[in-house]
Amino acid sequence: MTRLFKHLRPLLAVLFLPVALAAHADDSAMPKKLTVGLLPGESAPTVMRLNEPLRAHLEKTLGIPVELTVGANYAATSEALRFGRIDIAYLGPITYILQSRKVQLEPFARPTHAQVGPTFQAVLIVPADSPARSLEDLRGKEVAFGDPASTSGTWVPRYMLAEAGLVSGRDYTLRVLGAHDAVALAVASKKVAAGGLSKPIYERLLKEGKIKAESVRILEDSPAIPEYMWTFRSGLAPEVKEKIRKAFISTSDPAALGVFRAEAFIPCVDSDVDRVRNWISVIEKDHPEDAVVNTK
């Protein structure tokens, strides 16, 4: 049997060579469809509507169908990227950092803005007639947050409170509402004493009339936060990644850039979010269990 296999080996190699070459060709070819994962910072229909111009731009530029998908929560989107169910995802620094503890991720582009560059801010807001004038005034109160893995909707506002000496569960009650718009509405209707959310989303909600300007006010702005990062799933061929990267970095389409308030997309690397890692350590010092909960 061994002797027979030795004689057949050259023939088998010739027979299977086309199959191997075909498989290699598939690895470097564009996929038949690009699936783009988005975080549910607001309701899924809102997120899909806001990102439609980008989807259309990518479809036109890459020449293949592009499908948007919104995860049930932040962890669901990052897990889908981790297990290859989506091709690229737009991840906030926290979601990216927590997921990259389990798998190597490759960020490739992020939006940059006039004046502030590739950063944005979170805010802690209160009802307009709240007596609170500083974060210390929230001691003993109920504070609303978005998704547990949200950068500007949970972790940065918690970091701001921690820097003011307020620890969740000890100095204030943390209420999870899942999305930025839900937090803003809860504060506007006085269901909670305060809430943390993305400043760009807060400003858009005011502009669209989703919350009334006379019903809320900003108690404090956050430090500058490194922008969200577009991130590849593992396994995409270098040629495919380069085409996708170029579709982002080279765009000047105002509609595609509009939802991100961006002048452009610029390249990014893992170390761009190092300052957020320092903020995480502040919270995990008082709540080490959070590191486990948010990386499941």
Q: Label residues 150-173 b or e (16+ Cβ within 10 Å = b).
A: bbbbbbbbbbbbbebebebeebbe
Please state whether 266 falls in left (phi above 0), alpha (psi between -120 and 50) or beta.
Answer: beta
pLDDT at residue 17, as a whole number: 38
**Can you name the residues that pair with 127 across neighbouring β-strands?**
216
The first and second tokens of residue 105, run together, are 């991720």
Please state the pTM of the whole predicted model.
0.86
Q: How far apart are CA 223 and CA 221, in angstroms?
A: 7
142 within 8 A of 262, measured Cβ to Cβ: no
Helical axes 93-100 vs 74-82, angle rounded to 10°: 50
141 within 8 A of 173, measured Cβ to Cβ: yes
Q: How far apart are CA 157 and CA 164, in angstroms?
A: 11
User: In the sheet where 216-221 sits, what is the strand order?
Assistant: 173-178, 142-146, 194-198, 122-127, 216-221
Sites in the chain below the pLDDT cut of 70: 1-28, 291-296
